[in-house]
Chains A and B, each alone.
Chain A
């Protein structure tokens, strides 16, 4: 297996895009390629994610992106794994480059949903779960995570402020991130006073519907004779699955796919959670950040929400979690999210995260979940 690097990473500002997904994807892809010091012609394959592209009446956008990059002869494929689509695409790129089948590959994720109303967007999100068994019984995407939150609160007798602390922390981080959808801090009063969406989840427990695009360039170390950026060494690229339906899970206090992917990733990297300096985790809801930290092995079960209230996961604390603001406040353009987590790691390790630097950025982990955990990717990165 060849040592494989991330050599370029770019994102637009999440929120509401005027342009189409295809245009935004092409723009961030060109930015990431040029930043890496490579040229579009160096790209051997484009792995693109655009789970809800059909809402823009556009499928098969890989060839359109490649055409816009001036490389129409380069192959492409769309990789879909719900909210973990672009980390699944990154995994494909890693496998091909590390395995010697490609020297350099482009990963690009994009989503545009702002042209839909809330009801339509909510319905799109629900298709990532088991549609007949869950959505047809009244579940929405927030409803499914709310069900997990109810089990967690019941098991560990948590209080609302613990989840509020996760929301406040991620908003505070996003306020310093120019890519973020929400660039404002919120107070505990605002959090507690926000309307109930799916009990116990309030509005400020939930990530927004965001438009956005992010791209990552992956290349073999031996192909990068003169790197112009500080490359991220991909120490692990692991994925796992689990039973999609809540009704078939052995317990509701975590996501089995996240636990499996984390075990694989730490084994692959020959590292332990203690050696990770900071994390970007999949906090589509505040409960999801607590579950992630426990599934990944950073905190014992039932303690992550309490630790968050105590400030352990703040940007300048012992274990910075989601210095980008996370899905919660940076935003969650479904298929761009996984790639955008890598953008944050890249910016932190390249001195580009001005005003939101973490104390130490030698190693990082990203955790990207598909829907309610039917799929999950965990990547571990380090400096050279």
Chain B
């Protein structure tokens, strides 16, 4: 009988609180096919291999798709409008996040460089790489 690898992955709560401590995005890499992801799991969502290695994901990347939310989610009432983004990280892996300082569609384009910029606000936040100061 096989059992879970001893290094069962960090929890979802750690993902969302860990970066507040050290500014890193926690993630996983599949030991078999190399898929890098932030999404919690015990096996690879691409190849099915059991057992994922914990890694720190890159913190810079490019916008793969985005929307400007004018009607926000309930925890983001005071931040609308803002951008919700899917980011292709430099060196592999994708994460979703939001950009409090992007207020209209013309402020951002697919392919724009962005970087992880956590603040006291919830969620995984990005700012445009061209922006000097961190958001918040």
Q: How far is the CA of A379 from the CA of B14 in the complex (A)?
A: 41
Asked if A247 and B65 sit within 8 Å, CB to CB, the answer is: no
Determine chain B's interface SS by DSSP, over half rule: mixed
| Chain B interface category by residue count | 35 or more
Quick one: which of B35, B46, B84 has the most chain A CB within 10 A? B84
A291 contacts chain B at the CB level, 8 A cutoff: no
Residue in B39, B70, B72 whose beta carbon sits within 8 Å of that of A248 in the complex: B39
Asked if B74 and A154 sit within 8 Å, CB to CB, the answer is: no
B98 contacts chain A at the CB level, 8 A cutoff: yes
Report B-chain residues with C-beta under 8 Å of the C-beta of A142: 71
- Min distance, Cβ B35 to any Cβ of chain A, angstroms: 8
Please, which residue of chain B has its CB at the minimum distance from the CB of A142? B71
Residue in A135, A140, A154, A245 whose beta carbon sits within 8 Å of that of B71 in the complex: A140
Q: How far is the CA of A139 from the CA of B99 in the complex (A)?
A: 11
Report B-chain residues with C-beta under 8 Å of the C-beta of A126: 73
Quick one: which of A118, A135, A143, A200 has the most chain B CB within 10 A? A143
- Min distance, Cβ B10 to any Cβ of chain A, angstroms: 13
B127 contacts chain A at the CB level, 8 A cutoff: no
- Min distance, Cβ A248 to any Cβ of chain B, angstroms: 5
Asked if B67 and A146 sit within 8 Å, CB to CB, the answer is: yes
Contact with A along B99-127 (1 / 0, CB 8 A): 00000010000100000000000111000
Residue in B46, B76, B94 whose beta carbon sits within 8 Å of that of A138 in the complex: B76
Asked if A247 and B73 sit within 8 Å, CB to CB, the answer is: no
B96 contacts chain A at the CB level, 8 A cutoff: yes
**Residues 186-240 (chain A) with a chain B CB within 8 angstroms:** 195-201
- Min distance, Cβ A343 to any Cβ of chain B, angstroms: 30
- Min distance, Cβ B51 to any Cβ of chain A, angstroms: 17
B64 contacts chain A at the CB level, 8 A cutoff: yes
Q: How far is the CA of A245 from the CA of B79 in the complex (A)?
A: 23
Q: How far is the CA of A142 from the CA of B71 in the complex (A)?
A: 9
- Min distance, Cβ A67 to any Cβ of chain B, angstroms: 36
**Residues 80-102 (chain B) with a chain A CB within 8 angstroms:** 82, 84, 86, 94-98
Contact with A along B1-34 (1 / 0, CB 8 A): 0000000000010011000000000000000000
Please, which residue of chain B has its CB at the minimum distance from the CB of A120? B74
Asked if B110 and A150 sit within 8 Å, CB to CB, the answer is: yes
**Residues 124-150 (chain A) with a chain B CB within 8 angstroms:** 126, 130, 132-140, 142-143, 146-150
Q: How far is the CA of A130 from the CA of B14 in the complex (A)?
A: 16
Report B-chain residues with C-beta under 8 Å of the C-beta of A147: 65-67, 84, 86
Asked if A196 and B65 sit within 8 Å, CB to CB, the answer is: no
A252 contacts chain B at the CB level, 8 A cutoff: yes
Asked if A122 and B67 sit within 8 Å, CB to CB, the answer is: no
Asked if B96 and A133 sit within 8 Å, CB to CB, the answer is: yes
Residue in B70, B72, B74, B95 whose beta carbon sits within 8 Å of that of A247 in the complex: B95
Q: How far is the CA of A243 from the CA of B73 in the complex (A)?
A: 22
Asked if A130 and B97 sit within 8 Å, CB to CB, the answer is: no
Report A-chain residues with C-beta under 8 Å of the C-beta of B86: 147, 246-247, 252
Asked if A150 and B73 sit within 8 Å, CB to CB, the answer is: no
A151 contacts chain B at the CB level, 8 A cutoff: yes
A119 contacts chain B at the CB level, 8 A cutoff: yes
Asked if A137 and B71 sit within 8 Å, CB to CB, the answer is: no
Report B-chain residues with C-beta under 8 Å of the C-beta of A198: 67-71, 84
Q: How far is the CA of A140 from the CA of B123 in the complex (A)?
A: 13
Asked if A137 and B65 sit within 8 Å, CB to CB, the answer is: no
Contact with A along B40-51 (1 / 0, CB 8 A): 000001100000
Asked if A143 and B96 sit within 8 Å, CB to CB, the answer is: no
Report B-chain residues with C-beta under 8 Å of the C-beta of A150: 65-67, 110
Asked if A139 and B39 sit within 8 Å, CB to CB, the answer is: no
B52 contacts chain A at the CB level, 8 A cutoff: no
Asked if B65 and A138 sit within 8 Å, CB to CB, the answer is: no
- Min distance, Cβ A379 to any Cβ of chain B, angstroms: 27
Please, which residue of chain B has its CB at the minimum distance from the CB of A151? B65
Q: How far is the CA of A135 from the CA of B75 in the complex (A)?
A: 9
Asked if B105 and A199 sit within 8 Å, CB to CB, the answer is: yes
Asked if A245 and B66 sit within 8 Å, CB to CB, the answer is: no
Report B-chain residues with C-beta under 8 Å of the C-beta of A201: 67
Asked if B123 and A137 sit within 8 Å, CB to CB, the answer is: yes
Report B-chain residues with C-beta under 8 Å of the C-beta of A143: 67, 69, 73, 84
Known contacts A134-B96, A247-B86; is-contact A139 B73 (Cβ 8 Å): yes
What are 14 contact pairs spanning A and B, CB under 8 A? A122-B71, A133-B12, A134-B96, A139-B69, A147-B84, A147-B86, A149-B67, A150-B65, A151-B65, A154-B65, A196-B70, A247-B95, A252-B64, A252-B65
Q: Which 9 A-B pairs have the closest CB atoms?
A: A146-B67, A138-B98, A151-B65, A137-B123, A247-B94, A199-B68, A198-B67, A147-B65, A199-B105
Q: Name 11 extra pairs, CB < 8 A, besides A136-B75, A140-B71, A151-B64.
A: A122-B74, A132-B15, A132-B16, A133-B12, A134-B96, A138-B98, A142-B71, A143-B73, A146-B69, A196-B68, A247-B95
